[in-house]
Each structure stands twice: as C-alpha cells, then as structure tokens.
Chain A
Amino acid sequence: MLEPIPSPPSARPLAAVPQAHARRRPVPLGWALVLPALAFLAVFTYLPAGLVAAMSLFHWNLAGFGASQWVGLHHYAQLMNPISGFLQSLTVTAYYVGMMVPLSIALGLGLAWLLKGRGPRLTLWETFTRSAVFLPYITPAIATSIIWIFIFNPQFGLANAVLTALHLPALGWLTSTTWALPAVMINNLWHNVGFMVILFLAALSTVPQAVVEAAWMDGASAAETFWHVIRPHLSPVMLLAVILGTIQAMQTFGSIYQMTGGQFGGGGGPLNSTTTTAIYLYKSAFVYFHYGYGAAVGVVLFLVMLGVALAQKQIGERRTFYR
C-alpha cells in the first residue's frame, strides 16, 4: 500500500527587484530631431509672416525696404475708414463664415450618419458612396467652380431649371447681389463637405455600440440616444470641426474669385457683394498693387482668425467631453 506523501515546503519570498534609475533626457538630440522641421517652418512660414507684418508699415516698393517709404500705422487707419471697403468685407466674411460653418457641420454629420457602416464590414456600396462624397474635396476648387458657373447660369443653368421645375422663381444667382454669395456657399458646401464627413465618420466609429445599446435598454428613443449619448462622444470632433471649418471658410479664395469673374479683372462682385476679406486682400495687393496696404489687411485678418479660434476653443472646451 502506498503512503500519502507530505506537503511541499512553503516557497521562499522573491528577492526585491532593484529600482530602475531615473532616465536623463538627451536634450541636444531632441533639438537635433526637430531642427529640420523648425528650420522649414522658420524660412517658409514665420519669416514671410514677419516680413508681411513689417511691410504693412511701409508704402511698399517691390525694390525692397530701402526703396519703400515708412508710413507707420497709416494703412491700419485706412482700414478702419468705411470708405476703404475693408469693414464691409469683414461683414461679408462674417455672413459667409456664419452660414458655412453650421451648414457644413450639419450636412457633414448628416451624411456621415447615413454613410456609417451598418454591418461588421463595409459593403461595396458603402465604400462607393463614401468615396463619392469625399471626391469633390480632392478636386481643385478652381476647376470645379467652372462647372458651378454653368450650373448657376441664369438662362441655361441647372439651378434655375430645378427651381422652375419646382414652380419657384428663377434667380439671377451670380449676377445678383443677394444670391451671388449663396451660390458660392452652395459650391463650397458641396466641395468641402467630404472633409466634415470624414471627421464625423471617424468620430461616430468611436462611439461604443454597447453604450448605445445600454441607452436603448434604459428606454432612450433614437433621438434621445443621439442627443444624450452619441453627441457627447462627438464633442471633441465637433470643436475641431468648428475651428477648422471657420479657418477654412475665412481663407476661402479660389472658388469665390473664380465664380465671380476674378479672371476678368477683380472678382468679389457684383458690387462687392462677394468681396470677403480674402478677396479684398488679394485685390488690394495684386490688382491695385498696393502691397503695404494688402499686408496690413493680412495682418488684421490673421489677428481676427486667431482671436476667433481662441474664443471658440475657450468656449468649446467647457462643453467638450474628453475620454
């Protein structure tokens, strides 16, 4: 008969693991790594920006600082004079930005909602529709704007054909001081919405399905689930979309210039109704060759954009939920 064997001896505790030494930061290497990027930025961004700021204080001559006449803040005083049209360009810009940002976000989010994958994998149709929506964004605005000029042709254009078919009055579109800017907006909504769609598709994909299902189980309707559960998950991207959308709208130039006849001398018409600050800047510097004045417009536009973005960030962050 076999005997049961005794229990094994108890295990000894493990030796203490030595503490890792605090790591020293190799400062020179870090600087060496960022230097190329920094140099690039300095030469092609900060230096020209500084030059522009300096130029705005001169009656600028293309021959350089030596040939230019110091005028101090004279250009800035001119800007503030209503006769210069600068203040009106700010109003046009505000109207344009104020319409474009909410519209492109609403449209982008709506399309993203329709295009978000329903199954575990994207179907061919879903891939196709996503590409179709994104395609305009990667086409040059200058080129596609020509198509929109045809669409908005008051006599032969598609836009008026649609309005007429719906028994609505035809519009003058690009020849009308009221409808020229909305026509530009429609073009740019179509052109830029793909970017918003991509942002919101990414954001929607971060909403955990189980959390949405938990809300359904808790009794939330589709609308309540969107508002109380999905929307907070989107808030960081929403803030990003507002800031990027604002900057993009403020900088819009090519499509406006193209659609309002810039290539025939000027753009921004009819009667300055589409002269945003970006158009105003271009015309000051490169149509009227008033470089110093244009530089001053650029400086003010930069400051306005900076101020708006900072304000949006300040206000937005308080309403944003980060995980």
Chain B
Amino acid sequence: MAQIEWDQVSKWFGPVAAVRDIRLTARDREFLVLLGPSGCGKTTTLRMAAGLEAPTAGRVLLGARDVTHVEPRDRDLAMVFQNYALYPHMTVYDNLAFGLKLRKTPPANIRRAVQDTAVRLGLESLLHRRPSELSGGQRQRVALGRAMVREPQAFLMDEPLSNLDATLRAETRVQLKALHAQLATTVVYVTHDQTEAMTLATRIVVMSGGVIQQVDTPEAIYDHPANQFVATFIGTPGMNMLPVLWTRADGQLAAVIGAQRLPLPPGLPWMRAAASSGHHGATLGVRPEHLRMSGAPDPATPSLKARIRLVEPMGHETLVHLDLDPDLTLVARTPDRWPNGNIPIWVSFDPRRLHVFDSVSQVAYEAV
C-alpha cells in the first residue's frame, strides 16, 4: 500500500527548525499537496519522505514499514525535481531507462516500458535527444516520464511546474490531473501556488513556519480556514481581516469596526465560542467576493460606509480597494465595473459568510 506517514517528524538545520512535529499521512492514491510560502518547510518535508534528508526526530513510514533510516534507493519512490535534474549526458531514452537498467530489468521490457511512457507523454520523437536539446516543457515531461516509467509506489514532486511559463503551466496542470487519475498512485506535491493546490489536490496541507496549519480538501480549506494564516494565504486576493470590538445594542450583538457599528443577527454558529473566549473583540474575516457594494444605503441590510480608493479592472472581474477608515481597508471582487476615484459607497455582506477569529490565538471560532 502506497501510504506515506510522517510521525511527529522534526528537522533542524543547526539552530533553524525547518519542520516541527509534522504528523501527516498521505493516503493511498491520494494527491496530497503541501502548500505554503517560500521557506515554510515543504521541500524539507518532501525530502524526508524521499530519504534525501534525515529527520532530526520522529519517524517516516511507508505503509506499515518504518523507513526512517532506509536509503532513498530502497524506498521505491520517484521524485520530480523543480529544475528537473535530468542526466545531461544521457539521451531522453537513457534518462527514462536508467532506473530500469539499474534494476536489471530485461532489455525487451525496458524498451517496452520506455516506449509506453514516451507515447503517453508525447516524447516519442525526442528519445534520441539530449536534455540540452529540449525546451523547458519537454524537459519537464522527461522528468515526469523518468518518474513514471519505473511504476514507483508513490510520486514526490517538488514544484514541478514552477519553471514553466504561465500557459504551459496551466496546460501541464490539467495533464497532471488526468495522469493522476489514470495512474491511481499516491502523489505528494509541493507548491507555493494556490491555484495548483486547489485544482490538483485531493487534500491540501497548508504549512507556515515549519508547522502544519490545516489539512483538508480544497473546498473545506477555502470555505472553513482554520486560522487567520490560512484565510489570508488562500484566495487571491486573500480574505479581508477587520479587527472589531463587541458591543450590545437592543440585546443584539454588534461589531464596532473603526468608528462604525455593524449589528449582527442572533444565532450565528461562532457566537457561543466568541462569548466563552471572554475577549472583548475578535477579527472578522470576509472574502472579497462576498462583499456587496452599492451607491446608496439599503435600509433593510446593515452596511458599512466606505470610499473607493483604487480600482483594478481584471477583465472578467474588478478588484475594488475600499477605505473604511484611513487605516482599515477592504478589497471587494465583483463582476461589475466600477469607476476609479474617491467615491462614497456602502458595503454589505451576508453575516453567515463571516469568519471570526480569536484575536489572540488567531484560530477560527467553531460552532459549539
């Protein structure tokens, strides 16, 4: 069974903790994406699964087998490197065949396996070229082919698309997804690109500072971020964050945002957790696409008064930057087009769309 487990794994480079107490399982046939900003420990986590880096503490398991001290060559995993790391002195054919030759596979089988992989990845006409005679996209496919041809237990991929231009990256992303469906093999995939993570992943692991922030399906990560980091890291632009103080008016909870007051309907799922926290305030999060703007206040819906500071037309949508206060800003995402200029405006949103985070721990309040 191709399951990879990190059991309380930590890795220190001298005084630097690259990864802290990782507990994670890549399930059989899953496409697990490690996502996070640069330097958060994704590569280190992946390399410890490969055996290229030894954990300072904890264990790595393949299925039920403890491989913490097993050489990379005895793990039967394949890795796709960020810069491909093809053998520059070998032809494409030999790059693909190398792993099979080392395993003393019969030559006829090697030929068939290389041929099959080449056909699958559209490399047939390139088999006699050296890597230096290939384009970036072709090299990337050779790197994938070299991993596939051996039929390993699992694939480890470290930002395999980051050296491609935007168009090719989008194409290859789709191919990768189709390939995973065909191969039905476990993939652990490292990226800092949330689009790749959202589109490819069975589950996403969001990391920051060497610590796992959240592990869940792409939808759940987007809809229910576990904390403020995940909420702002996922989504472009990220979730709007507003520090608020709680107040009560007519027995109803209201949030004080800057100089304004926003009444909230009773019975929202997070309210009891917020009350039991004992804090006087919290951080409200709302996604840019959930903000509604209008030129005039609507008496039926509570809204906040703001001014348009800047408009970024994107074609299919428009990003509107709003000032609530001089130091409180919001971004709204709308299919409508809005004029630039210092224009007064009213912003509202469905209160059920609100995310509320503890102002100290930055963790999302859950329904209790």
Contact = CB atoms under 8 A, between A and B. Distances in A.
A208 interface: yes
Interface stretch (A14-22, A139-147, A150-158, A213-221): A213-221
Contact of B73 (A8, A210, A220, A233): A220
B52 A213 contact: yes
B86 interface: yes
B313 interface: yes
A211 B72 contact: no
Contacts of B102: 218-220, 224
Nearest to A120: B13
Contact of A215 (B87, B294, B313, B338): B87
A208 B339 CA distance: 53
Interface of A: 1-2, 4-8, 208, 210-211, 213-221, 224, 228-229, 232-233, 321, 323
B339 A217 contact: no
A321 B338 contact: no
Contact of A219 (B82, B85, B99, B336): B99
Contact of A217 (B79, B83, B336, B345): B79
A321 B85 contact: no
Given A211-B88, A216-B72, 4 more contacts: A5-B338, A213-B52, A214-B146, A218-B78
**How big is the B interface, by class?**
20 to 34
9 contacts: A210-B81, A213-B81, A214-B86, A216-B72, A217-B50, A217-B73, A218-B102, A218-B150, A219-B150
Interface of B: 50-52, 71-73, 77-79, 81-83, 85-89, 98-99, 102-103, 132, 146, 150, 294-296, 313, 336-339, 343, 345
A189 B299 CA distance: 94
Contacts of B132: 323
Given A217-B50, A218-B98, A323 B81 contact: no
A155 B336 CA distance: 100
B63 to A, nearest CB: 18
Contacts of A6: 337
Contacts of B89: 232-233, 321
Contacts of B313: 8
A2 B77 contact: no
Nearest to B103: A219
B158 to A, nearest CB: 9
